[in-house]
Amino acid sequence: MSKTLKVLTEEQKKQFTANGYLIVKDLFSVEDIRVIENTFEAISHTTVPGYFEPKLDADADDPLKRYPRVMHPHRFNETAKNYMLHKPVLDVLSDLYGEEALAAQSMFYYKPPGSRGQALHQDNFYLQVEPGNCIAAWTAIDAANMDNGGLLVVPRTSDYEISCPELADASESFTTHYVKPPKDEKAIPAIMDKGDVLFFNGNLIHGSYRNKTKDQFRRAFICHYANASATHINTHYRPLFRADGTAVDLESNTDGGPCGIEFDMAYPH
């Protein structure tokens, strides 16, 4: 039996079910956002092998060389882990899942001015959560809009089957995978204020355009979660964590997925 809703309204839950995504405000305080900003500003001046490897003297032709995304910061930074397990976010996830959420991944995107976007894709192609699905909590550390490369979502694709990606346009996307939206469904911008959190299901097709501004970063703290009843996940996201910080080690998912076993399923979203 599903748990009674604790923080979301019935209308919010229906919106998530119908569209595959939901923006929730006021889950982070002004101070929370400031701490996240300061934490990743400090990280941006360092190198963490395997997780964050910027070229500190990179030229301006590709700003993502200087500011690549930070992968799994919860594995080397306690503040990142604490905010991956932020109780207001976990409460929303508990409502959406109808059970406890397990934290699987954290990321931080700087997305500096002029940087490429990320082609449309589906998260559970990479996480391979079974049974159930992953859910992302995408927190806007800067306001996100069409100019600075905010997120794009394709509504009503949360029930769309996980697809084998095509090759993305490398001039516009820093990742190589592209999932074509179904007929009659188009990507729309998820306009977000600083501190808003966008929740979306792992089948939802989403991505982003280039940051077209000359002076605006579009920073985002992004975490992925699995339902507690899941038994399998891609091995790159193990271990997972409960709300109290204790590790949970699900079985490694060895299913080849829609591309078959020869395709690289280990691509780090």
pLDDT digits 0-9 by tens, 109-118: 999 999 999 9
- How many domains would you assign to the chain? 1
In a domain, 249, yes or no: yes
Domain coverage including residue 60? 10-253
H runs (alpha helix) in the chain:
10-19, 30-43, 63-66, 78-84, 87-97, 124-127
Q: Could you tell me if residue 48 is inside a domain? A: yes
At which residue do the structure tokens 């769309």 appear?
160
In a domain, 201, yes or no: yes
Residue 137: is it exposed, middle or buried by C-beta count within 10 angstroms (0-12/13-18/19+)?
buried
Q: Which residues of 35-51 are buried (b: 16+ CB within 10 A; e: fewer)?
A: ebeebbeebbeeebeeb
Domain assignment present for residue 1? The answer is no
Residue 26 lies in a domain: yes
Say if 266 falls within a structural domain: no
Note if the pTM is more than 0.85: yes
Give the CATH number for residue 48. Answer: 2.60.120.620
- Structural domain contains residue 263: no
Q: Tell me if 255 sits within 8 A of 128, measured CB to CB.
A: yes
Position 260 in a domain = no
Beta-sheet pairing, 101-109 with 220-227: antiparallel
Please answer whether residues 204 and 157 qualify as being in contact, where contact means their C-beta atoms are separated by less than 8 angstroms. yes
Region of poorest pLDDT, from 11-25, 51-65, 129-143, 163-177 = 51-65
